[in-house]
Amino acid sequence: MIVVLHVVAGAAVAHVASTRLHDRSQGGFRRPGLGLLAFACVAGLLSHGVLDGLKHGYPISAVPDIVLGTVLAVAWCSAVRPPLRLLFAAVIVAALLPDVIDHGLAMLRWKAGWDVAVNANHIFPWHWPEGSGSLHPGGNDPARSLDFGRNRAVSLANHIIVLLIAAGCVLTNPRVFRFAPDPIDARAA
């Protein structure tokens, strides 16, 4: 899926993980321990596989997607309370890591038109032809063509499902944002 959605999925995992970090004594949240950080990063990395396994097209082309994803990641990390920034940054990076590892070189060569997304030699199974739900315009392959049958509708439905689940995860802990009321103040009020 597009980079932007992998950033959203990583941030969603971090929102859920940060529900373990409520702290009455230090302004609402404490820093994560190594165990939680590692577990959340593994969950973030695996979220990439769930998203890529779904049938999906690419609503944004590669370069604007990478730029927008980077801006979103930086904005999200700077919008959360300082003790949680490392958690959010690490999980978002973990959620992007499979693309960096499997597609990084191709991106550097500016072949990032996503036609290189399906390759049997990639490390992660969700980037193999058998595991990827990647769809592209043209052609007549039910498993690969965005234009075959109702694949566009399936892709749209899958994007909406991912966004709704991510929104649910964010809502488990919206007070991680600096502009949200402090959890301690809110309890005292």
By beta-carbon proximity to Zn ion, the closer residue of 18 and 47 is 47
Q: CB under 5 A: which stretch of 46-54, 133-141, 145-153, 169-177 binds Zn ion?
A: 46-54
* 18 vs 158 by CB, closer to Zn ion: 158
DSSP 137: S
What count of other Cβ atoms lies within 10 Å of the Cβ of residue 86? 14
CA neighbor of 42 nearest in space, from 95, 102, 89, 84: 95
Window contacting Zn ion (CB under 5 A); options: 74-82, 93-101, 133-141, 144-152: 93-101
Question: From the CB of 145, what's the least distance to Zn ion, in Å?
Answer: 19
CB neighbourhood size of 141 (10 A): 12
Site for Zn ion in 5-44 (CB under 5 A): none
Is 65 among the residues that bind Zn ion (CB under 5 A)? no
Report the residue number, 80 or 96, with the smaller CB distance to Zn ion: 96
The owner of tokens 């597009």 is 2
Stretch that binds Zn ion, among 52-60, 80-88, 142-150, 174-182 (CB under 5 A): 52-60
Q: Which stretch binds Zn ion (CB under 5 A): 50-58, 77-85, 158-166, 169-177?
A: 50-58
Residue (134 or 173) nearer to Zn ion, CB: 134
Q: From the list 83, 94, 99, 106, which residue makes contact with Zn ion (rule: CB under 5 A)? A: 99
- Specify the residue, 13 or 80, whose C-beta has the smaller distance to Zn ion: 13
Give the phi and the psi of residue 80 in degrees, each rounded to 5.
Answer: -90, 160
- What token pair was written down for 147? 């234009």
**What 3-state class would DSSP assign to 41?**
helix
Pick the binder of Zn ion from 29, 52, 112, 169 (CB under 5 A): 52
Residue 119: which residues within 8 A CB-CB, separation 6 or more? Answer: 102, 127, 128, 129
CA distances from 49 to 64, 103, 115, 126 (A): 22, 14, 18, 5
Residues that bind Zn ion (CB under 5 A): 52, 99
